[in-house]
Structure 1
Amino acid sequence: MASKVTSTQVGIIGAGPAGLLLSHLLHREGIDSVVLEARDRAYVEQRVRAGVCEQPTVDLLDEIGLGTRLHAEGLPHHGFSLRFDGEDHRIALTELTGKSITVYGQQEIVKDLIAAHAGPPIEFEVSDVDVHGIASDTPSVTYTDSGGHRRELRCEVIAGCDGFHGISRRAIPAGALRTFDREYPFAWLGVLAKTPPSDEELIYTHHERGFALHSMRSPEITRLYLQVAPDEDIAAWPDERIFAELRARLATTGGFALHEGPVLDKGVTPMRSFVAEPMRYGSLFLAGDAAHIVPPTGAKGMNLAVADVVVLSRALSDLLRHNDSAGVESYSDTCLRRVWRAEHFSWFMTSMLHVDPAADGFGRRLQLSQLRYTASSTAAATSLAENYVGLPFT
C-alpha cells in the first residue's frame, strides 16, 4: 500500500528534551516541524533521567516562558560538597561564579515542553523509521504511525534527536563520521527513594569502597548512586544492601545520618564518553545524545542537548527564513567546542571521584592529591564551579 505523504520544514526524530525544545524554538521563529517518537507519551513523560539544570538552561527556559513550574518545584543549589577523608569540602558555586544550578528532573522539562507544544501533534509510537536523501536538499523520513499506516514525511532538514541508540547517526554513510569512544570500568547503581534528602545540597563522595552520590528530586524524593561493576546484577542489590553500602560510603568523622525509605526505582547505568564528528551530514543534523555521551558525574548530558538545539534553532532559522547558510555550516564546529569542554570536565570529575579497580597505589594517591587541591585552592574550586554551573551556549 502506498505511503501517505505529508510535508514540513524540519523533521525531528525523537521527543526527548532535544527534539521537543528544538520544535518549540523553531515554532517561535515561525518554522514548521513534525516530531516523531518511538515510545508512547506516558513513557516519555515518566522516564527518569538527568536532574541538574545549568544556569544557562534555566535562563533559556525563563526566556521562552517555560520556567514557571521549574521555579515553583525545582530546587536551586548554590553549592555542593566534595566528601573525602571522611570530611565535607563545600564548593560554593554562587560565591565563586555568581551563578547556581537547579535540580529539576528531565522528565519534568519534557512534560512542560509537551504541554506547551504548538503546531502539528507529536506523533508518538511510530516504528520502522528510516531517513532518505540526506545527501540532498530534499530529504524525507518514512515511518509507520501508531495506527499501523505507512507514512512519508518530506522536509527541508532532518534533526536527529533520537539518542545514542537511535537511527539518525547510523543513517550517515560509513566513513563520513569520526567517532571517539571511552568506556569506563565501572557503572552507577541508581535508586529513587521516597524519603526527604539527607542534606540540602548534593554530595559527591570519594571512598575507598567506591564513589557515591547523594542527590534529590524534590523535598520528599531522594536520588542516590553507588559505583558498581559494569556487569553488576541488580538482583544482587536488595534495598537493605544498597542502604548499608550508602551508609558506609557516605559516613563522615562527625557522623552523617542517611535518611532511608521505600525504593521507588533502581537500575544500573554503564558509563562511557562518546563523540561523533561532525554533527552534520548534508541535510541531517545530530543533536544531544545522538552525537555525544558524557558520564553523568559532571551533570552535563541534558544541558549539552539544550546547548546543541539552541545553536541549531538559530542556524535553521537563518537558513529557512533568510537563506543564510553560515549558521548551519558552522553548527558542528560551534557545538563541538562546548561538547569537548564538557567531555573533559565529565572525565575529570569521573576520574577524580571513582575508584578504578585497575589503579595502583600511585593512582589512588594522585586522586586524593587532586581532591585536596581542589578543596583548598580558590582557583581550582572556581574552575570546577565555572564548569559545573554551565558555560555559555556559544
Structure 2
Amino acid sequence: MESIVVEARDRPYVEARVRAGILEQGSVDVLREIGVGQRMDREGIVHAGTQLRFDGTNHRIDFEALTGRKVMVYGQQEVVKDLIAQRVADDLPIHFGVSDVQLHDLTSTSPRVTYTDENGARQEIVADYIAGCDGYHGVSRGHIPAGHLTEFERIYPFAWFGILANAKPSSDELIYAHSPRGFALHSLRSDSVVRNYLQVAPGTDPNAMSDDEIWDEYDRRFALQDEPFTINRGEITERVVTPMRSWVVTPMRYERLMLAGDAAHTVPPTGAKGMNLAVADVVVLAEGLTKALQSNDESGLDQYSDIAVRRVWRAEHFSWWMTSMLHRFPPEHPEGDEFGLQMQLSQLRYYTSSEAAMRTLAENYVGLPFGAAL
C-alpha cells in the first residue's frame, strides 16, 4: 500500500534518541518477516532469561526452558534506523523536520494531513486513512472530538534515573533488584555499553549526584549477601529521569484515524513492553488496512481497537505488577509500610520458587504470541 510518513524531528535526532532496548520474540519475528532484521541478528544480543535479586540473593528466570521463547536486546533507536534505511532504500516518502501538522475531514472518505515542510512551504496529503503513530505528545489524538475517548491513568510515586555508560556489562543478563534503598536495573546495549536505572523520587535532578556517587549507589542496591559484587564502572554519557505512569485511551480508532503505540497507551518501563506494544498494534492495523484497501472490507479496522486494547491491558497489568513488586514505595504511600514490604517479598519468593509462577512471569516477559486470545 502507498504510504507517506511525516516526522516532526530531523533524522539524526530520531536515530540517536536512546529509548527501550528489549524486543519480544514476536517483535523479532515481525522485523525478520518484513526484511529489516539482518543487522538486528548480527548485533542484537539474545537473552534466554533474566535475574531477580532481593534479600541479597540472586534468582534466575529461564525464559527458554519455561516458554521455549527468548528476547532480544536491541535498542529502539537501532530498530528506527533500520526501518528508516529500508524506507529510503525503497524510495518511499518520509519527510523529516515538519511542523504545524493538522488533520482534516476525518469523517470523510478522503481525510487530509496538512503540514509545513522543512523549507517552510505548506503541504497537503490526501489519504484513505491516517495512522496516528506520533506518541503521547503528538497531534493526532487531539483531533478526535471531545466525548469520543475514555482515558485511564495511574501515576506512580517514583521515577527512574537512567544512565548510559561506556562500561563492560556486569552480567550476561538483565538484573532486576529489589533492595532496602529502592529498585535498580542493570541492562546493556552491547559488550561495552550499559543502560542502568535507579529508582528515585519524581523531579530528581539528574545532575545532583556525581559519577562516583551513582556507581556507589548501584553497588549498594545490587549487593549480594554471600559473595562480593561490584558493578563495572565507566564513562557516563547520558543521564535522564523518567516519570512512571500507566495510561490508556480507548477506542484506538475514530472514523478514518487509527491511533497506535504511545499515542494510545504508555506503560512503566519495568516490563519492557512499550516498543513491543507498538509493534503489536501495527501488525493488527496493517492487516485491517490491507483488507480495507484491497477488498473494500473494513471489518478488520472495525475490530482493530478491540483486538489491540486486549493486548494493551495485558501488558499494562504485567508492567504494573512488576513495578509494584520491585519498587519501594515511599512511607506516606499506603503500600509503603512494613506490611507492603512483606507482601512484595512474599511475591518475589513465590515467583522465583514455583515453576508455575515462574512460567507466568516468563511468558508475559517474552511476550504472548501475536494473535493469542488475551
* Counterpart position of 1:146: 118
Q: Which of 291, 299, 302 matches 1:318? A: 291
CA distance in 2 between counterparts of 1:32 and 1:368 reads 52
Q: Which residues of 2 match residues 1-394 of structure 1 at below 5 A?
A: 31-117=1-87, 118-253=90-225, 254-357=227-330, 358=333, 359-394=336-371
Moved runs in structure 1, 4+ residues, more than 3 A? Answer: none
Tell me which amino acid in the other structure corresponds to 1:58: V
CA distance in 2 between counterparts of 1:233 and 1:40 reads 27
Matched-pair identity in %:
59
The answer (yes or no) to whether the contact 1:193–1:261 under 8 Å persists in 2 is yes
CA distance in 2 between counterparts of 1:56 and 1:210 reads 32
CA distance in 1 between counterparts of 2:317 and 2:237 reads 33
CA distance in 2 between counterparts of 1:328 and 1:121 reads 24
The answer (yes or no) to whether the contact 2:3–2:93 under 8 Å persists in 1 is no
CA distance in 1 between counterparts of 2:308 and 2:205 reads 37
CA distance in 2 between counterparts of 1:201 and 1:158 reads 40
* 1:119, distance to aligned residue in structure 2 (A): 4.5
Any idea what SS the aligned residue of 1:234 has? coil
Tell me which amino acid in the other structure corresponds to 1:385: A
CA distance in 2 between counterparts of 1:130 and 1:237 reads 42
Tell me which amino acid in the other structure corresponds to 2:328: V
CA distance in 1 between counterparts of 2:207 and 2:34 reads 43
The answer (yes or no) to whether the contact 2:163–2:197 under 8 Å persists in 1 is yes
CA distance in 1 between counterparts of 2:288 and 2:209 reads 47
* 1:312, distance to aligned residue in structure 2 (A): 0.3
The answer (yes or no) to whether the contact 2:136–2:264 under 8 Å persists in 1 is yes
* 1:235, distance to aligned residue in structure 2 (A): 2.1
Any idea what SS the aligned residue of 1:69 has? helix
Q: Cα deviations across residues 85-123 of structure 1 (Å, max 9, x unaligned)?
A: 001010000010000001000010111111100343210
Tell me which amino acid in the other structure corresponds to 1:343: E
The answer (yes or no) to whether the contact 1:338–1:393 under 8 Å persists in 2 is no
**Aligned-pair Cα RMSD in Å:** 0.8
Q: Cα deviations across residues 49-81 of structure 1 (Å, max 9, x unaligned)?
A: 100000001111111221111111011000110
CA distance in 2 between counterparts of 1:285 and 1:114 reads 21
Q: Cα deviations across residues 121-145 of structure 1 (Å, max 9, x unaligned)?
A: 2100000001011122221011000
TM-score of the superposition, structure 1-length normalised? 0.91
TM-score of the superposition, structure 2-length normalised? 0.96
* Structure 1 spans left out of the alignment, 5+ residues: 1-30
Any idea what SS the aligned residue of 1:393 has? coil
CA distance in 1 between counterparts of 2:189 and 2:93 reads 29
CA distance in 1 between counterparts of 2:341 and 2:69 reads 32
Matched pairs, number: 364
The answer (yes or no) to whether the contact 2:57–2:224 under 8 Å persists in 1 is yes
The answer (yes or no) to whether the contact 2:207–2:239 under 8 Å persists in 1 is no
